[in-house]
Structure 1
Amino acid sequence: MKKKFDKYWFNSSGEDDYSMLFAFAVILDPRYKLSFLKYCYESIFEDEIEAILKISDVRFKLGMLFKEYAPKTRVPYETSLTPSSNSNTMSTSSSDHKRKFDIFADYDKREASSSCAKTQLDIYLDDPKMGRKVGLDILIFWKENEHWYGELSHLARDILTVPLTTVASESTFSI
């Protein structure tokens, strides 16, 4: 039994590294998120620094996976104050005015696309956890909250539908 357990919780390389898929599934459960994973890793690893590094690694890899689901092209933020491109009606004095608005538009675009902007994953992780004893169908939760979490809900449904065991398939072959 321990051999089967290790097969799913440890990498095939034999390193003492717990499966990312299980970690992602725990994080994507709105009752647990990162706090339960942190508790588990602190219990498993005797060294607190190693646990923190593992948590950071899982969080980084989940962020990288989320980027694969995010739209590839983003519409830059535009203000309604940006002047139109019809320069025939603009006088010379208004060209200085246009440059000022262009500076603000460039600033707004930079701010909108800056790395400090929160992703759907960041928003989800910052939201309060649900009660642990709440009866919850996680797949229905992600489907119902697709309008709020967008691409993250697609990632969550893809990860959470992966079978977490091969007992059924192995027992079929054993029969």
Structure 2
Amino acid sequence: MEKLVKSKLNELYDAYAKESEVRVEASIATPTPTVVVDKDLDVRSSLYSEFDTFCDQEFSSACSSEVDKYLVELCERKENPSFDILLWWKTNSNKYPILAQIARDVLALPVSTVAFESAFSTGGCILDPFRSSLSPSIVETLVCTQNWLLSTVPINLRYAMDKVEDLERELLQEDGQLPME
């Protein structure tokens, strides 16, 4: 399973990397202004910068891609209740630019299955305790009624009303509430 997930992540990474290369080539085509560096640059910051570059190169040589670097890095602990995955990707987007794009696209997917009408409704959610207690015969009746209402066959209302009244009369006679005719 681990190999499958890693291979799919690498495939996704490669697709995003190709897309990113196209954008980088387009940005290289436009000339960028040169920045003049002050010759009196602080020696300490220069040494720190060199050390950071060295560490990045060492880390890069050990790992071939951002995916490998990401997978080698230590995981955040679950015990941290204030951990925010979106904030983590925001702060680490410079470290993993292509993976950050993937995370942005994946984490932006809607995870709710609520109908948009109810999401913006001011009426609130109204559920009664009998919502899920419909008997099978009632469900069948509702489905049949919906099919009847949505059918393209014209409805003869007078005939339908007469049939309903006949059925009601039969039911009342069976219960003994109505004398036989």
TM-score range, shorter chain: 0.3 to 0.5
> What TM-score comes out, normalization by structure 1 length?
0.39
Structure of larger gyration radius:
2
Higher relative contact order (CA 8 A, sep 6+): 1
The TM-score with structure 2 as length reference comes to: 0.38
